[in-house]
Structure 1
Amino acid sequence: MLLANKHFKYRWLVCLYLIGLSTNILGQNQKIDILYGGNFKKDEAQYPGASIFTKDANGQVQFRHQGADMWCDQAFLYADENRIYAEGNIYLEQGDTLKLWSNSISYNGNSRLLKSMGNVRMLKDTTSLQSDTLYFNREDQMAYYNTGGKIIDSKNVLTSKFGTYFIDEKKYQFDQKVHIDNPEYTLDSDKLTYYTDTKYAYLNGPSTIVGEDYQFYCEKGFYNTELQKGYGNKNTEIHYSDRIINGDSVYFENATSFASATNNIRVLDTINQSVIRSNYAEVWKAIDSVFATKRAVAINVLQNDSLYIHGDTLFVTGTKENRILKSYRNSRFFKTGMSGICDTIKYIQTEDITELIGEPVVWNGESQLTGDKMWILSDPETQKLDSLIVESNAFVVSKDTINNLGFNQAKGLDLGGKFIDNALNQIKLHKNTELIYYMYDENQELFGVNKTICSEIELQLENGDITDIIFRVNTDGTIYPIEQFPEEMKKLEGFIWREEERIYSLDDLIIDSAN
């Protein structure tokens, strides 16, 4: 008895399962219904298995299948296969928001796959999709084309060779020759995902956006097509008037004329042929301003050479006719044969004037120059170094490189220097000048130490070495034999030797990895 009850329960569960399965299959394979047939005929010779319906004076042929209604001039219904082919002024409605027009369609009621052909236009809300041929999977609510298509919404016209429309997600995926036309910009991409509700575009291949006064390129990124702002994080580049910005990641906003970049940044000034490299930068196009930090270096091209400037923070301001670079905190510069450090550097690009502020020190050849403030001037035409000005507490020091007995020194209130071929050739010290100089004969034998005080000293240099000294006005000097030169007189008041801070190459320019 117990065994019979068990068998009965088992058979009942199987029956319930089969009934449920059958109901599900029938629901999936719901038959295509004809709502209005107009004229009817059969033609087994030419269209075996088809019921042929043609519109009449009362209206078009109308069919319905699982929430979609379709009208046409003529339809071929294959009831046994649950499919239909229709042609002539096709119009399809799905719900209240999706409509489709075409010349003809082929539809399978079992798979719910629809193929529209000829002058196809699908309208979803306010977005229109146009193509010569469109495939529509009603089961997954997905439409796609592979022979070229056009999408039109309230802001943009998008075209591509391949496209897929995910209707419920309001999302398009475009491939090959993707193009967006907007009254304010154009966009071209190899691959793009576009959301019709937010107007967001995700770029997944080489992409170029050209606006009224900017051009943006990336190989992976995002663009808000409505607000004209976005970012790129692969091979990104933006052209802003006379600047080109590259970086691992670049963000920009057209409304504020703002761009920022992160890591491996290069900002090129195409007018002045200068470059800023850093790991973070901001560009404000409307006010011609650049801010850079994190290992920031400005590179300014001089004749067959470059001037490198580094600081914790770099600012570039001013129009192309009056562009100024400022470096703040721990500022350093380097060029072939010359380098220096201070707190702040101000460089006027169009006039080629470099101002050093805050305990500046400059090295040229074997000479070290210090003072309260310094200016380095270049010839704007030749871009060669022209002159040097030191204001207050000017001091020149170089080692006695022959016998290493001490330091050659010259000091004064102010200093003026002249360059030839980018090397210091002449130095003039003014007011309260003093000098200590180790003197050698032509055989490089030391014959004394010159200790002189006067009103003005002129030094002639070659390859950084002093070749001639001229004393002017109220000269009071003594040449001491080396053994009689007092130890306490070997360094002038204010002497400082900062060789351990000297920048010998570009590798020495940045000392703090955080900046």
Structure 2
Amino acid sequence: MVRNVILLSLLIIANLFGQSQGIELIHADKHIGKKVGGEQLRIFEGNVHFQQDTIHMWCDRAVMYEEKEKIDFEGHVIITDGKSTIRAKKIEYYWQPQQSYCYGQVRIKTEKDSLYSEYLEYNFKDGSALARENLYLFNRENLTHIWGQYGFYNPQEKFSQVSIQAHLMKIDSASNDTLNIFGQVLQYFDRKEERKAVAIDSVTILQGDLKAVCDTAIYWIEKDLAVLKHNPRAWYEDSRLKAVEMEVYFDSLRLKRITLIGEAEARTLADSTTGEEDVLKGKLIHFHIKNKKAERIIAIDNASSLYYITDENEERGANFATADTIKIFFQAGRLDSISIIGGARGTYYPEAFKKEIDVE
């Protein structure tokens, strides 16, 4: 008899929720009603299951605040609409705007992405989200990992941002090459006309033997191209590069070419014992890489070079040249030959020459 009364009461409550509040109680082992501070509360315990339209909610315990149109879910909380599934220790859910506030070991999974954090705000109507504390995002489609401390997503603008110790790591499934981008802010634009990632403030890029730093970097997804702005500097094996702007070209995340634009300079260690460096300058420099080794360097427009060479008699000296274009060729990453084109001028300094050689 008592069991029948309980079942009947739950059925009445479920119908009431479904008709007047847009949210329906599917099941709860236990239901208690009480007033706290003049507000009517309904407490549900044990295998709790609610539904609102296509959204299903499960937990161990739920407290409904009728005046606030809110339910607090606690213990093994799961909320899903078939497209997105959230798990957390506790979720506050406002059923009219379909807005959730999630706390503790939060996980949200969609068809393409998984997100982990300690706190999440998520709206089931428009898909907007805000997350903070130990944020981690994984995109299964393009094998991209993102870490940070604060992030948000605007579905209308198809724009997301992660900030505070932000880190993006992208892995190529074929070559297993990895691209790492660090910055204080990472932005992602997922629009057809411009799919790109932007790193801002204290940016560092790592890929194989490449390390680059700058204030702003833009990675164009379709072009596999990173543009480094505002005081860019780069290091590749024994070479140091600098310019006003840099373009870093990849092929399936494998480094292919670095183009230095404006006040371009490439320095390569010639002798580790003396610290002497080969120097190439120009308005534009193309630094080509093949099989992860420097293949050739081309300086264009007001080009100048200083290269340390050893002839067939083992006599060593330095060659300084200026021209419209200077091409440097490498074999197995070592200097092989130099080609000077247009308006060439050059000077050879034997090893006995002791004065410092300046490159203008």
Moved more, 267-276 or 407-416: 267-276
Matches within 5 A, 1:363-382: 363-379=235-251, 382=252
Structure 1 position 193 matched with structure 2 position 77: no
- The structure 1 residue matched to 2:13, chosen from 113, 129, 135, is 129
TM-superposed deviation, 1:377: 1.4
How many residues were matched structurally? 354
- The structure 2 residue matched to 1:438, chosen from 285, 288, 308, is 308
Distance of 1:442 and 1:199 partners within structure 2? 88
Aligned to 2:220: 348
Aligned to 1:261: 131
Partner of 1:117, secondary structure, is: helix
- The structure 1 residue matched to 2:234, chosen from 338, 357, 362, is 362
Q: Are 1:164 and 1:173, in contact at CA under 8 Å, matched by a contact in 2?
A: yes
- The structure 1 residue matched to 2:328, chosen from 459, 473, 485, is 459
Aligned to 1:245: 115
Matches within 5 A, 1:106-505: 115=2, 117=4, 120-122=7-9, 128-129=12-13, 152=18, 154-169=21-36, 170-211=40-81, 213-239=83-109, 242-302=112-172, 303-319=175-191, 322-379=194-251, 382-440=252-310, 447-461=316-330, 464-487=333-356, 489=357, 491-493=358-360
Partner of 1:271, secondary structure, is: coil
Q: Are 2:13 and 2:25, in contact at CA under 8 Å, matched by a contact in 1?
A: no
Give the AA of the match of 1:393.
E
Give the AA of the match of 1:486.
K
Tell me: CA distance 1:424–1:320, structure 2 relative to 1, closer, same or farther (3 Å).
farther
Distance of 2:13 and 2:275 partners within structure 1? 88
Give the AA of the match of 1:183.
D
Partner of 1:331, secondary structure, is: strand
Distance of 2:222 and 2:108 partners within structure 1? 24
Tell me: CA distance 1:248–1:283, structure 2 relative to 1, closer, same or farther (3 Å).
same
Give the AA of the match of 1:453.
T
Partner of 1:122, secondary structure, is: helix
Distance of 1:200 and 1:304 partners within structure 2? 47
TM-superposed deviation, 1:391: 1.5
Q: TM-score, normalised by structure 2?
A: 0.87
Partner of 2:352, secondary structure, is: helix
Distance of 1:467 and 1:202 partners within structure 2? 71
TM-superposed deviation, 1:371: 1.1
Partner of 2:268, secondary structure, is: strand
Partner of 2:288, secondary structure, is: strand
Gaps of 5+ in 1: 1-103, 105-114, 131-148, 494-515
Q: Are 1:219 and 1:236, in contact at CA under 8 Å, matched by a contact in 2?
A: yes
Partner of 1:206, secondary structure, is: strand
Distance of 1:151 and 1:176 partners within structure 2? 19
Gaps of 5+ in 2: none
RMSD: 2.8
Distance of 1:446 and 1:343 partners within structure 2? 44
Distance of 2:30 and 2:116 partners within structure 1? 31
Matches within 5 A, 1:42-121: 104=1, 115=2, 117=4, 120-121=7-8
TM-superposed deviation, 1:340: 0.5
Aligned to 1:496: none
Tell me: CA distance 1:463–1:265, structure 2 relative to 1, closer, same or farther (3 Å).
farther
Tell me: CA distance 1:432–1:451, structure 2 relative to 1, closer, same or farther (3 Å).
same
Tell me: CA distance 1:204–1:239, structure 2 relative to 1, closer, same or farther (3 Å).
same
Question: Which has more radius of gyration?
Answer: 1
Q: Are 1:163 and 1:172, in contact at CA under 8 Å, matched by a contact in 2?
A: no
> Percent same amino acid among aligned pairs?
18
TM-superposed deviation, 1:449: 1.0
TM-superposed deviation, 1:480: 0.9
Matches within 5 A, 1:2-21: none
Tell me: CA distance 1:237–1:429, structure 2 relative to 1, closer, same or farther (3 Å).
same
Q: Are 2:217 and 2:226, in contact at CA under 8 Å, matched by a contact in 1?
A: yes
Give the AA of the match of 1:167.
K
Tell me: CA distance 1:189–1:390, structure 2 relative to 1, closer, same or farther (3 Å).
same
Q: Which has the higher contact order (CA 8 A, sep 6+)?
A: 2
Q: Are 1:240 and 1:285, in contact at CA under 8 Å, matched by a contact in 2?
A: no
Q: Name the structure with the higher strand share.
A: 2
TM-superposed deviation, 1:196: 3.6
Distance of 1:219 and 1:467 partners within structure 2? 64
Distance of 2:91 and 2:3 partners within structure 1? 33
Tell me: CA distance 1:453–1:199, structure 2 relative to 1, closer, same or farther (3 Å).
same
Q: Are 1:455 and 1:472, in contact at CA under 8 Å, matched by a contact in 2?
A: yes
TM-superposed deviation, 1:180: 1.4
Give the AA of the match of 2:180.
Y
Distance of 1:337 and 1:463 partners within structure 2? 15
Q: TM-score, normalised by structure 1?
A: 0.63
TM-superposed deviation, 1:240: 5.4
